[in-house]
Amino acid sequence: DTGVSQNPRHKITKRGQNVTFRCDPISEHNRLYWYRQTLGQGPEFLTYFQNEAQLEKSRLLSDRFSAERPKGSFSTLEIQRTEQGDSAMYLCASSFALEYEQYFGPGTRLTVT
Amino acid sequence: ELKVEQNPLFLSMQEGKNYTIYCNYSTTSDRLYWYRQDPGKSLESLFVLLSNGAVKQEGRLMASLDTKARLSTLHITAAVHDLSATYFCADFQGAQKLVFGQGTRLTINP
């Protein structure tokens, strides 16, 4: 297991379309996080899971956004009716609950045209 | 969510010089992270500082944490071009999430 993986790495979509991203965490990591990073800014927290339970959601996560982690392993982040303001890098990270390091994946870069 | 502030936001320096990036945070957290990001890439963990007075060093980078002042520093010694990147500090808030600073874009010129 070489680390956190994310797919796709790049996604270009037209405004109004739905998109779904996938994150595969490091094996046996029970915490999984989603962050969003816009150009020139630091990453912003979106949501996190402990096992399959979604424990916190940021106010940034409008009702067009939904995240799932159905079996406590991989996670998906869906954006419905995309807007140009959704263009960003979406980063996934994972960790053990009792350890300190969060390991980041390579990210999915979304461009909404 | 409480803010994390870095300064400077942009730093251009010559190879061989020393400099320090400052990170102020507002929580009572005793856990502070430093990450490096190259253009178009994800985040690489540099240091995790877990207690007041913690100091960690890796190569030309040294990080420290003062929880009473709510201040962390990242010191660069005898900079080399390969250290050019954006550096982020992040505070672990609510035992749940990282809150990042704006980042410091570091350019090291020959």
CA dihedral A8, A52, B42, A89 (to 10 degrees): 60
Record: contact B45-A107, CB cut-off 8 A: no
Specify the pLDDT at position A77. 97
Q: What percent of chain B has pLDDT over 70?
A: 98
Rounded to the nearest 5°, which phi and psi values hold at B53? 85, 0
- For the stretch B28-38, pLDDT in tens is 777 899 999 99
Report which DSSP code applies to A27: T
* pLDDT band at B53; cut points 50, 70, 90: confident
The answer to whether the Cβ–Cβ distance between B103 and A41 falls below 8 Å is yes
Q: List the single residue in B with minimal CA-CA distance to A101.
A: B48
User: What gap in Å lies between CA A105 and CA A34, rounded to an integer?
Assistant: 10
How far is CA A87 from each of CA A15, A37, A78, rounded to the nearest angstrom?
A: 10, 9, 13
| Residue in A41, A101, A105 closest to B102 by CB | A41
Q: How far is CA A60 from the centre of its chain?
A: 13
Residue A98 has pLDDT above 90, yes or no: no
Determine whether the interchain pair B45/A103 forms a contact, defined as Cβ–Cβ distance below 8 Å: yes
* Average pLDDT along chain B: 91
**Each residue of A17-57: pLDDT tens digit?**
999 999 999 998 999 999 999 998 999 999 999 999 988 88
B97 inside 8 A of chain A by CB: yes
pLDDT given at position A88? 96
Contact state of A103 with B100 under an 8 Å Cβ cutoff: no
Residue of B49, B96, B97 to mutate, testing the A interface (most A Cβ within 10 Å of its Cβ): B97
A1 pLDDT above the threshold of 60:
no
CB contact under 8 A, A42 and B90: yes
* Predicted confidence band of residue A100 (pLDDT cuts 50, 70, 90): confident
Extended beta strands in chain A, E state: 5-7, 10-13, 19-24, 31-37, 44-50, 53-57, 65-68, 75-79, 88-95, 103-104, 108-112
Min Cα distance B87 → chain A (Å) is: 10
pLDDT digits (tens, 9 = 90+) for B59-101: 999 999 998 899 999 999 999 999 999 999 999 887 678 999 9
pLDDT at B1 over 70: no
Is the pLDDT score of A12 beyond 60? yes
